[in-house]
Structure 1
């Protein structure tokens, strides 16, 4: 795309002056004005030709390092512009359009280029790399572009504006906050907790899957083995060296806000909950737990992540970049998902929490070695009610330090140990 009018204000003035000189020269018979007008027209024409003749910009490509940005973190964007020119070109300016989900300064000076024929490039092909830094501001997938490049001739009479319509989608993952470890609670897991180093190399190699039998919990279905065997397979009890944990995020929009249904990043409270969810998963996996990530309906959001497998944690962040809320409210029935099983830490993240909700969640606390409940909007004495039923509970929101809230949660409430 190019601007229709190629002249600057100076160039437009020169063109008007040239036409005026030709008109006056014709009326008054002044030959000198005729020569001057023709000279001005030649200068303007030459300026336009210097920008449009022998130069063509074909394509642009963008790359991001790291490939997935995250909220609050920086990423470097490199825009490669392929230019074909047989003549030297003047410097200019460029500007890359950033979406609301990214912040940064995406503009600068476009360099002057020498003749492509001088360096022996085929067809005068040249590449220009434009580099800038962006910061993730809003979770989701956001397109960068279009890129605008403006150049002018040495006299400032003509300009050329090229707008590249190509847009590059950039994934902005939720922020992962470094949470305090659970090492102090190793005894509560029956002596099963090991460091990440101990867990590396064990993972799925120690996992035994068997065919599904009536009465088996759906939460124990091993999806990879199911896909491989083409029949439902469930996990056998893992070796003592692989403790389990579960992280549950409530996605009911009525407990957050209607904006949480529309698009990622629209509801600050829901974003705090998403960040708490992925941060808890990262902490537990780092501490050696095999983690299941569910929503309040019992739906598996990502495949089970083995202890120490931080690569799968990174893959989870990409999936969570577009996670939104749901209309259905399944939180009062969440306890059914944990009926008849005993597990390690269970982390539940909810939006609004009232006392009846805390009572409905009470049975889960008695099936976990470390039940943690994080709420973005506690109502009344809901936190105290949850703590009385055995939860380690704390409030979270976009303005609070999640690390402090996590530390308060694991240090508050009655600590239940399975017998």
Structure 2
């Protein structure tokens, strides 16, 4: 039956029978049919009154089993509904509206209730599973409850418009540790000295650049290399690492600007970004996650703090592409810097980009580049410049791609 029509199939039949009784009572002259028709109408009116006058759903409250939902993971939504009814309430149906960022069976049988007028005595508890489909912050609701009267003649649809916002964060892929690269990356296994002259085994020499103090000149290395060299202390424990996410719309589909989850390529880049940042933090690094213009996308991560990871994921739940392209300005941000691991995630990547980024690779102890859509031999050119490269697409195994950066060169990784 039409949802607007307040009578069930049984109630509609009773109404038609009442009308037929009125018609045949006049034609056949049987007055008893009139009384029977009036009785049917009275029962229908009572059924409608029992639904609209003495029964109502007052409030709904939802809680989610986890603080946030994640793409590809299942959470449980618990729903509490307060219902007032002066008459017994037979079983009905309920349905909760889910946004496109979630999937699940948000419907079922609404249980029968005994009579009562106190809302706190009539709390119905429901639950259903949800699975994250796309990133984003979207509301669940409204909740619709379809109930009938005790005779099953009339139907009412309660709409509880209270909504509950649900944050769907990107998934964090469990990447393998880079502990086997700790010596190359300046990782947590290295012990260093702060002052020149202490711990000589930890001192290295590098070419002199303008601004270096003359007191830091390494005379032995200068004589050996026949060029001016200065002392440089290696990184301490808990060194810095940087993860750069290129969000330029020029490198992704136009849908990446519209809403989270719209472009599979951009979603792959976001997932790789948060997964790499989490992995580096667990390996003992203080991780800074930035855009290509140098602006931090979230607070630095450090100390294996789960709360910091959750805060980062919440930020990335709603992040989208931008119209600006700052990839060409990335080398200027690291001029004169000596960094630990540098992870760069880009979308479309061509030979011109590889040439622009060539100077950056030599500033990092572990320069890793992940491209969603490399063009031609762009990654070969980047690898020749010192980058450790891997190709990822929306179907790629990101853990395999991450492991591939341990070998210098290019690794094309597909799902």
TM range (shorter): 0.7 to 0.9
Does the 8 Å contact 2:74/2:129 carry over to 1? yes
Please state if 1:384 is matched with 2:342.
no
> What is the distance in 1 between the residues matched to 2:168 and 2:5?
38
Q: How many corresponding residue pairs?
A: 368
Distance of aligned partners of 1:87 and 1:154 in 2 relative to their CA distance in 1, 3 Å threshold: closer
Classify the secondary structure of the residue corresponding to 1:301: coil
Q: Which has the larger radius of gyration?
A: 2
Single out whichever of 123-132 and 106-115 deviates more from structure 2.
123-132
1:287 alignment partner, one of 278, 283, 289: 283
Distance of aligned partners of 1:72 and 1:349 in 2 relative to their CA distance in 1, 3 Å threshold: same
> What is the distance in 1 between the residues matched to 2:383 and 2:177?
21
Q: Unpaired segments of 5 or more residues in structure 2?
A: 191-210, 212-232, 411-415
> What is the distance in 2 between the residues matched to 1:106 and 1:363?
53
> What is the distance in 1 between the residues matched to 2:398 and 2:294?
25
Residue 405 of structure 1 corresponds to 401
> What is the distance in 2 between the residues matched to 1:108 and 1:71?
24
Q: CA RMSD in A?
A: 2.1
> What is the distance in 1 between the residues matched to 2:187 and 2:297?
29
What pairs with 1:175-254 in structure 2 (closer than 5 Å)? 175-190=171-186, 192-193=188-189, 240-254=236-250
Residue 218 of structure 1 corresponds to none
1:123 shift after superposition:
5.9
Distance of aligned partners of 1:339 and 1:124 in 2 relative to their CA distance in 1, 3 Å threshold: closer
Single out whichever of 31-40 and 87-96 deviates more from structure 2.
31-40
1:303 shift after superposition:
1.7
Q: Unpaired segments of 5 or more residues in structure 1?
A: 195-214, 216-236, 415-419
1:239 shift after superposition:
7.8
Single out whichever of 246-255 and 180-189 deviates more from structure 2.
180-189
Does the 8 Å contact 1:179/1:280 carry over to 2? yes
Residue 12 of structure 1 corresponds to 12
1:367 shift after superposition:
1.0
Classify the secondary structure of the residue corresponding to 2:152: coil
Single out whichever of 177-186 and 147-156 deviates more from structure 2.
147-156
1:31 shift after superposition:
2.6
Does the 8 Å contact 1:373/1:394 carry over to 2? yes
Single out whichever of 124-133 and 70-79 deviates more from structure 2.
124-133
1:343 shift after superposition:
1.3
Does the 8 Å contact 1:86/1:123 carry over to 2? no
> What is the distance in 2 between the residues matched to 1:61 and 1:134?
16
1:175 shift after superposition:
1.0
Residue 329 of structure 2 corresponds to 333
Distance of aligned partners of 1:144 and 1:123 in 2 relative to their CA distance in 1, 3 Å threshold: closer
Does the 8 Å contact 1:85/1:125 carry over to 2? no
1:316 shift after superposition:
0.4
What pairs with 1:31-50 in structure 2 (closer than 5 Å)? 31-50=31-50
TM-score (norm 1): 0.83
Classify the secondary structure of the residue corresponding to 1:79: strand
Does the 8 Å contact 2:187/2:285 carry over to 1? no
Classify the secondary structure of the residue corresponding to 2:36: helix
Please state if 1:354 is matched with 2:381.
no
Distance of aligned partners of 1:280 and 1:193 in 2 relative to their CA distance in 1, 3 Å threshold: farther
What pairs with 1:7-406 in structure 2 (closer than 5 Å)? 7-116=7-116, 122=118, 125-190=121-186, 192-193=188-189, 240-406=236-402
1:183 shift after superposition:
0.6
1:124 shift after superposition:
6.7
> What is the distance in 1 between the residues matched to 2:237 and 2:292?
28
Classify the secondary structure of the residue corresponding to 2:244: strand
Does the 8 Å contact 1:18/1:38 carry over to 2? yes
Does the 8 Å contact 1:139/1:265 carry over to 2? yes
Does the 8 Å contact 2:56/2:158 carry over to 1? no
User: Could you give the per-residue CA deviations for residues 139-161 of structure 1, whole angstroms, max 9, x where no partner exists?
Assistant: 11112111110011343311011
